[in-house]
């Protein structure tokens, strides 16, 4: 059996090297809800036949982190955050055999709100609620003009 696990890591400071943060302090680490489009993409890929069109990279082009102030419990069927207030494109993203990793940096002048939720979107733009929500989590995150974050999102497939 395969388990899909999504996890966010927020580091204060540090330097990004590959898919890791060097010298930063891990201040938040938490799991998330994986939303329906991720499962649909995987299952469509498994159902591909010569007569059908395979899912392509453009079907799920992971593009943005989004941050919000909503408080509604995330659900697999969510299509947006509860109240998106800031969005930023990825600094980098990569994958290996069983893990997708995306990294985003929030500078001191970015995302300065009382954040309570975070999400990952595909095929979006910098416009709030644009694209397809792939991941949604609730977490109170302190962010102000004195804080820089390096954020890592990991989506891992594990055999259980």
Q: List, for residues 118-145, the tens digit of each pLDDT value.
A: 999 999 999 999 999 999 999 999 999 9
Residue 79 is assigned to a structural domain of this protein: yes
Low-confidence ranges of the chain (pLDDT < 70): 48-59
Q: How high is the pLDDT of residue 17?
A: 87
In whole angstroms, give the CA distance from residue 24 to residue 13.
Answer: 5
Residue 131 is assigned to a structural domain of this protein: yes
Residue 122 is assigned to a structural domain of this protein: yes
Q: How high is the pLDDT of residue 40?
A: 85
Q: List, for residues 24-38, the tens digit of each pLDDT value.
A: 999 999 999 999 999
Distances (CA, A) of 61 to 30, 122, 157, 159: 23, 5, 18, 25
Residue 50 is assigned to a structural domain of this protein: no
Written as one string, the DSSP assignment of 101-155 is EEEEEE-TTS--SEEEEEEEEES--SSTT-SEEEEEEEEEEE--TT--EEEEEEE
The model's pTM:
0.90
Domain count across the chain: 1
Residue 52 is assigned to a structural domain of this protein: no
Residue 7 is assigned to a structural domain of this protein: yes
């Amino acid at each position: 059996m395969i388990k899909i696990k999504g996890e966010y890591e927020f580091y204060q400071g540090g330097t990004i090297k590959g898919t890791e943060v060097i010298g930063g302090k891990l201040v938040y680490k938490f799991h998330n809800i994986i939303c329906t489009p991720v499962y649909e993409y995987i299952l469509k890929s498994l159902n591909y036949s010569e007569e059908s069109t395979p899912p392509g990279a453009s079907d799920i082009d992971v593009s943005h982190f989004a941050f919000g102030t909503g408080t509604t419990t995330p659900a697999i069927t969510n299509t947006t955050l509860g109240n998106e207030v800031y969005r930023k494109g990825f600094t980098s993203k990569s994958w290996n055999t069983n893990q997708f990793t995306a990294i985003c940096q929030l500078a001191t002048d970015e995302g300065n709100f009382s954040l309570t939720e975070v999400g990952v979107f595909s095929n979006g733009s910098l416009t709030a609620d644009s694209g397809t929500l792939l991941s949604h989590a609730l977490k109170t995150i302190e962010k102000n003009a004195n804080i820089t974050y390096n954020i890592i999102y990991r989506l891992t497939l594990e055999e259980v």
